[in-house]
Chain A
Amino acid sequence: MKRFLRENGIGLVFGVLFLIVLVGQAFAGLAQFNDAQRASGLPDIAFWRYVTSASFGVDVAENWQSEYLQFFLFIILTVWLLQKGSPESKSLDKPGRETDKEQKVGPYATPESPKWAGAGGWRTSLYSNSLGLVMGLIFAGSWLAQSIAGVAAFNEEQLSERQDPVSWGQYLLEADFWNRTLQNWQSELLAVASMAILAIFLRQRGSSQSKPVGSPHDATGVEG
C-alpha cells in the first residue's frame, strides 16, 4: 500500500485535489445561483438540482475544454517546435517525429515496449499518436459539452430577462459562447508560454519540470 501511494503520488494527489475543488466550486456556484434567484424573488434551489443544472455544467466544461486544448496543443506542437534552454523542449537537433529507431517502434521495439509499438501497420500508427488523439478528443467533447450546457444556461438567463431563447446554432455565434471560450484559452496559452520561457532561467530543485539547478541556461531538453 505504502509503495503504491509512493509510486502513484502525482495521479492520486491531483485526483483528490480535483474532487475537493470541484465540490468547492459546486457549493460556491450554488450560493451564487441562489443569490440571483433571491434577487429575482424566486426560491433557492437544492444542491443536487444545481449540480445537474446547465449553469454548473457550462462552468465546469468551459474550464475542462481549455485545459485539454492546452495539453493537446502542447503535445502536438512540441513535436516540431523547440525552445532553446527550456526543459519543456526536446534538444535542438531533434525536431519532428524522429526515426523509428529513436522512437523504438516497429523492428526497433524492445521486449519491454508496449505491444502496439512493435506491431507495425495501423496499430503502431494509432499508438504513436494516441496521447495527442485522446487529449484532442477530450478537448472536442468538453467544448461540445460547453456549447450544449452553455446554450441552456444562456437561455435560462434570456428568459429571466424577458428575452427569447436562441438555438444551439445561434448560440455558437453569441458573444457569451466566445467570451467563455476565449477567456479560458488565453490563460492556458499564457501559462504554457510562461512555463516554457521561465524554466530557461529559473530552477526548482528536484522538480521533474525544472532543469537541475546547476544546468546552464542554454541546456535544452534536460529535466531534473
Chain B
Amino acid sequence: MVVASISGCATVGDQEGAAAGVAARLLSAVEAGDGDAACAALAPETAKSVAEDEPCPEAILDKSLPRPGQVVETSVYGQWAQVKLTDDTIFLAAFPEGWRVVAAGCTPQASRPYDCSVEGD
C-alpha cells in the first residue's frame, strides 16, 4: 500500500512492518498479562481513555482483546495505519517515537466505523 513516510527515508514496507510489530506487541503483552508493556504500545489519548476508572496496566487486561493472530493485511496512509489480524483489527497513528495504537479490539460494521473496545475519546 501507498504513501507518505513517517521518517524521511523509511519505505512503505518498513512502515507496514513497524506498524504490524506494534500491533502484535500490544496483543502479545495482553496475552502475557504484562499491562505495562501493553499500555506502552498505546497512543497517549487512548491510554488516558483506558485508564478512566483504574490504572491503564490493569484496565487494558480487562478489555477482552483477542490473542495475537496472524497479520492478514497492513495498510499505511500518511500518519495512519491499519493492521488486520486473524481475530482483530487495530488502528495506529504516527508519533515521534514510532507507531502507537489508537484503537484495538475493533470489529467491522456495515458502512459504519469499526466498533472498538479500546480507543481514545
Same complex for A and B? Answer yes
Q: Are B91 and A162 in contact, CB atoms less than 8 angstroms apart?
A: yes
- Per the bound structure, the CA–CA distance linking A152 and B95 in Å amounts to 19
From A10-18, A39-47, A81-89, A136-144, the one touching the partner chain is A39-47
Size of the chain B interface, CB-CB below 8 angstroms: 30
- Pick the residue among B5, B96, B106 that contacts A162 (CB under 8 A): B106
Encoded as 1 (CB less than 8 Å from any B CB) or 0, chain A from 148 to 165 comes to 000111011011111111
Given the known interface contacts A153-B78, A159-B81, the answer about A42 and B93 at a Cβ–Cβ threshold of 8 Å is yes
- Pick the residue among A41, A45, A55 that contacts B44 (CB under 8 A): A41
- Per the bound structure, the CA–CA distance linking A49 and B1 in Å amounts to 18
Q: Are A165 and B106 in contact, CB atoms less than 8 angstroms apart?
A: no
Residues of A within 8 A of B91 (CB): 159, 162
Residues of A within 8 A of B106 (CB): 162
Q: Is A53 an interface residue (CB 8 A)?
A: yes
- Per the bound structure, the CA–CA distance linking A55 and B78 in Å amounts to 9
Residues of B within 8 A of A41 (CB): 43-46, 120
Q: Are A165 and B77 in contact, CB atoms less than 8 angstroms apart?
A: yes
- Pick the residue among A53, A161, A165 that contacts B4 (CB under 8 A): A53
Interface bracket on A: 20 to 34
Residues of B within 8 A of A153 (CB): 77-78
Q: Is A194 an interface residue (CB 8 A)?
A: no
Residues of A within 8 A of B86 (CB): none
- Per the bound structure, the CA–CA distance linking A160 and B120 in Å amounts to 12
Residues of A within 8 A of B77 (CB): 54, 152-153, 155-156, 158-159, 165
Q: Is B103 an interface residue (CB 8 A)?
A: yes
Q: Are B44 and A159 in contact, CB atoms less than 8 angstroms apart?
A: no
Q: Are A165 and B75 in contact, CB atoms less than 8 angstroms apart?
A: yes
Q: Is A37 an interface residue (CB 8 A)?
A: yes
Residues of B within 8 A of A164 (CB): 82, 108
Q: Is A32 an interface residue (CB 8 A)?
A: no
- The chain A residue with its CB closest to the CB of B113 is A162
- Per the bound structure, the CA–CA distance linking A191 and B14 in Å amounts to 46
Q: Are B78 and A162 in contact, CB atoms less than 8 angstroms apart?
A: no
Q: Is B32 an interface residue (CB 8 A)?
A: no
Q: Which residues of B contact A (CB under 8 A)?
A: 1-5, 43-46, 75, 77-82, 91, 93-96, 102-103, 106, 108, 113-114, 116, 119-120
11 contacts across the A-B interface (CB closer than 8 A): A37-B79, A53-B4, A55-B78, A156-B78, A160-B80, A162-B113, A162-B114, A162-B119, A163-B114, A164-B82, A165-B82
Q: Which residues of A contact B (CB under 8 A)?
A: 37, 40-43, 45, 49, 52-55, 151-153, 155-156, 158-165
